[in-house]
């Protein structure tokens, strides 16, 4: 069965921009006020970053399927995605506050870290998953540079306390992998999953 519209279960403006870049029509399918979306993102003891990001993404898809049914919306594929930054096997989630963001950026300074973005597309044909793995190398950053970047407010709400498409681009020495994946939605993998789910775009 072919579909012309996709449900996007993500609040990220970057994911919306990237879907638009692909030429995909979508409708937002965001959590209800009584849904605890943050609880889905809790890390399990001993969980690897790779397992974590894929599990959270799949859980988001299950929650979105239930949401679609509850709202009696027409059948169409649902897209969820989750991005995590990890350094030496340690997951760097979204910073809780400015000091947390500064500590994360200081840890990333002068190092190479991994950015993992999982994508799930759930439809009547079942759920299909993909994982994009990229490496990002930061140059060494001075304390005042980190403080200025944190003061901009950009690191808050972002995994690893930075957005590659924003001011943090000046710290990025090298990337290996998917630029769109580092932004939060790997377009190569996403397009393949959407076609599998019968989406026309």
Catalytic residue, chosen from 32, 75, 82, 99, is 82
CA distance 200 to 2: 7
Rounded Cα gap, residues 93 and 68, in angstroms: 28
Q: How far apart are CA 191 and CA 35, in angstroms?
A: 29
160 and 82 in contact (C-beta within 8 Å)?
no
Reduced to 3 states (helix: H, G, I; strand: E, B; else coil), residue 167 is helix
Is 82 known to be catalytic? yes
Map residue 134 onto helix, strand or coil: strand
**188 and 119 Cβ atoms separated by less than 8 Å:** no
Strands 126-138 and 172-176: antiparallel
Which among 134, 109, 129, 126 is positioned nearest to 189, based on CA atoms? 129
* Active site positions, annotated: 82
């Amino acid at each position: 069965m072919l579909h012309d519209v996709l449900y996007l279960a993500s609040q990220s403006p970057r994911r919306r921009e990237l879907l638009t870049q692909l030429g995909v029509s979508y409708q937002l399918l965001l959590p209800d006020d009584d849904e605890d979306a943050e609880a889905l993102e809790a890390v399990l003891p001993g969980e690897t970053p790779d397992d974590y990001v894929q599990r959270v993404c799949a859980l988001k898809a299950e929650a979105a399927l239930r949401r679609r049914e509850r709202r009696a919306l027409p059948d169409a594929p649902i897209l969820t995605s989750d991005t995590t930054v990890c350094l030496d096997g340690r997951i760097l989630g979204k910073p809780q506050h400015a000091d947390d963001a500064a500590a994360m950026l200081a840890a990333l300074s002068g190092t190479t870290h991994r950015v993992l973005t999982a994508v799930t597309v759930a439809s009547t044909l079942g759920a299909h998953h993909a994982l994009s793995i990229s490496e990002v190398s930061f140059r060494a950053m001075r304390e005042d540079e980190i403080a200025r970047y944190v003061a901009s407010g950009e690191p808050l709400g972002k995994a690893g306390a930075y957005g590659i498409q924003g001011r943090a681009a000046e710290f990025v020495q090298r990337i290996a992998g998917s630029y769109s994946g580092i932004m939060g939605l790997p377009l190569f993998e996403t397009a393949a999953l959407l076609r599998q789910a019968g989406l026309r775009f």
